[in-house]
């Protein structure tokens, strides 16, 4: 595993948290958009799709929150190790960082897929 410096880890964590906040805001807007669509007369198929997208948005907003909290806790662990161990991070901390990066990428891919599906759904209603 390549050792990276603490400022780089902190920058990455900050970037992930900022991106997750942006996703949260965007997906809350999509949730509101779906609530407006729900007021229209929709076919049974469209109502089924609407409910599925509402559920997916709810689940992904929870996933965004959970990952954001995990990143925040990881940042705290990094700062603790920096101060307690003269700037040395454990291999576990580096491994945790890599794992969070993988989780972030997976979630980002999932969110992109949901966004694309939702945009197609809303377009089909117009």
**pLDDT tens for each residue of 43-98:** 899 999 999 999 999 999 999 999 999 999 999 999 888 888 777 888 999 999 99
H-helix segments, the chain: 6-38, 44-84, 91-124
CATH architecture of 6-124: Up-down Bundle (1.20)
Would you say 107 and 65 are in contact if contact means Cβ atoms under 8 Å apart? no
What pLDDT is stored for residue 63 in this prediction? Answer: 98
Gap between the Cα atoms of 31 and 24, Å rounded: 10
Gap between the Cα atoms of 55 and 39, Å rounded: 17
Half-sphere exposure in the Cβ direction for 97 (13 Å, CA):
23
pTM: 0.90
Would you say 28 and 112 are in contact if contact means Cβ atoms under 8 Å apart? no
Q: What confidence category does residue 114 fall into, taking pLDDT thresholds of 50, 70 and 90?
A: very high
What pLDDT is stored for residue 2 in this prediction? Answer: 43
Residue 34 backbone phi and psi in degrees, to 5: -65, -35
Gap between the Cα atoms of 109 and 63, Å rounded: 13
Q: Whose structure tokens read 């089909």?
A: 124
If you average pLDDT over residues 8-22, what whole number do you get? 95
What pLDDT is stored for residue 54 in this prediction? Answer: 95
Gap between the Cα atoms of 114 and 56, Å rounded: 8
Half-sphere exposure in the Cβ direction for 30 (13 Å, CA):
27
What pLDDT is stored for residue 84 in this prediction? Answer: 87
If you average pLDDT over residues 99-125, what whole number do you get? 95
């Amino acid at each position: 595993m390549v050792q990276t410096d603490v400022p780089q880890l902190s920058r990455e964590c900050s970037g992930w948290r900022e991106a997750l906040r942006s996703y949260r805001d965007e997906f809350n807007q999509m949730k509101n958009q779906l609530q407006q669509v729900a007021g229209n007369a929709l076919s049974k198929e469209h109502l089924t799709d609407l409910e599925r997208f509402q559920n997916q948005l709810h689940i992904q907003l929870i996933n965004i929150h959970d990952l954001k909290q995990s990143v925040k806790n990881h940042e705290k662990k990094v700062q603790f190790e920096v101060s307690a161990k003269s700037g040395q991070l454990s291999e576990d901390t580096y491994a945790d960082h890599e794992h969070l990066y993988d989780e972030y990428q997976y979630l980002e891919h999932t969110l992109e897929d949901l966004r694309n599906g939702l945009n197609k759904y809303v377009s089909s209603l117009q």
